[in-house]
Amino acid sequence: MVRTVPVADPGDLLARLPERAPYAWVRHGEGLVGWGEAARTTVPPGPGRFAWAREWLAQVLGEAHTDDSVHRPGSGPVAFGSFTFDPDSPGSVLVVPKAVLARRDGRAWLTTVGDAPMEVVTPLRDPGAILYGDGSLTAPEWQHAVARAVDRINDGELEKVVLARDLNALAEHRIDVRLLLTRLVRRYPECYTFSCAGLVGATPELLVRHTGEAIESLILAGTIARGGSPEDDARRGAALLASEKDRHEHHCAVESVRDALAPLCKDLTIPDSPELLKLSNVQHLASPVSGRLSDGASVLDVVAALHPTAAVGGTPTGSAVSLIRELEGMDRAGYSGPVGWIDAHGDGEWGIALRCGQIEGSRARLFAGCGIMGNSRPAAELAEAQAKLRVMQYALEG
């Protein structure tokens, strides 16, 4: 039995979370948080994983006896999910929490599955001192991988490839995911802050928002660090908008999204030129996308069509993914894979898991990636990756 009821404004959604296994999707104070597990599955790897996930959700959510007096996207039974970047990698999960607290457009509600007692909310705990160590590749090794990728691009094998880095972190105490979420929301309110099965982060990139027939997406590709003064910041933004390398990288991402969404949509709008999206640490070239679906596709169908975009894989996709497997020397796990939520009507919001880390006890594995083009410089790409890693380092250290 699933019951959704209106509730008074809960204030800070994250402040209502218990420490154990919190789920979250929050931006500008709105979104959903959840706790407990009414149902959970590990999605089998392979090319049909999104179809398998949709069938599992249809069975589990379809069997629910739902009493929903709110009737909004995200009311009734909801599943949080995280999919690995590589379809052949294990670790994709879907979870239906026992309780979900949500706020959207001035309304708030609580959904409970069965007897879902409110858990005790304990004070946030600091992880203490943090020690960092190399991930799969050292910094020089990763720069060498970038140089090899540039050679392969200039040899004509592909146009672009996104190479990721990982960084290991060991905390003095067990890491409280709620503290990371709280710090990320405070520092990056314009991002989608998420938590699902230990994958925690704040992504600027909305893969898709699905509400009825309407869909929205945000394409980000092309990055530069923020400046040290307003004048420097403006110069950097102008340089990014004028950069042939970054504009081409962004164009590749736009075309991959257009090609994926056009068959699903009866209308699709993508601006001719990108705009600047300024975050607290970096600036991105950004293109907002909107459209209407031509049939009853769920948000997972759109996710399946879009992933992986050129912004996280490369162009062409097949060649880029093969080169990623060859050069990165690691399994990305959930990094740069889809993360978000879906309700029983197929509505939902999914982002790309960027600026994130996989948390397990007192250990964290942090991730960042860069789009590599034919004129990329390894040292500059390493600096960009380090700037992106600082997002999760801030979440750990405060």
Catalytic residue numbers, as ranges: 160, 205
Phi, psi dihedral angles at 89 (to 5 degrees): -90, 135
Direct distance between the N- and C-terminal alpha carbons of the chain, in angstroms, rounded to an integer = 41
Q: Which of 26, 387, 12, 390 lies closest to 190 in space, CA to CA?
A: 26
Do β-strands 107-113 and 2-6 pair in parallel, antiparallel, or remain unpaired? antiparallel
Burial of 198 (0-12, 13-18, 19+ CB in 10 A): buried
C-alpha 233, offset from chain centre? 26
Residue 199 CB partners (closer than 8 Å, separation 6+)? 82, 333, 334, 339, 353, 356, 357, 358, 359
Please tell me the distance from the alpha carbon of residue 356 to that of residue 87, in angstroms, as a whole number. 19
Residue 92 CB partners (closer than 8 Å, separation 6+)? 42, 43, 45, 49, 53, 81, 82, 83, 84, 334, 337
Q: Assess contact for 144 and 379: CB atoms under 8 A.
A: no
Look-up of token digits 């030129």 = 273
* Local structure of 111: helix, strand or coil: strand
Please tell me the distance from the alpha carbon of residue 119 to that of residue 36, in angstroms, as a whole number. 9
Do β-strands 30-35 and 23-27 pair in parallel, antiparallel, or remain unpaired? antiparallel
Q: Assess contact for 14 and 202: CB atoms under 8 A.
A: no
The contacts found for 230-239 with CB under 8 angstroms, 24 or more apart, are 233/278, 233/283, 236/283, 237/276, 237/278, 237/283
230-242 helix and 244-261 helix, angle to the nearest 10 degrees: 60
Q: Assess contact for 325 and 89: CB atoms under 8 A.
A: no
Phi, psi dihedral angles at 87 (to 5 degrees): -60, -20
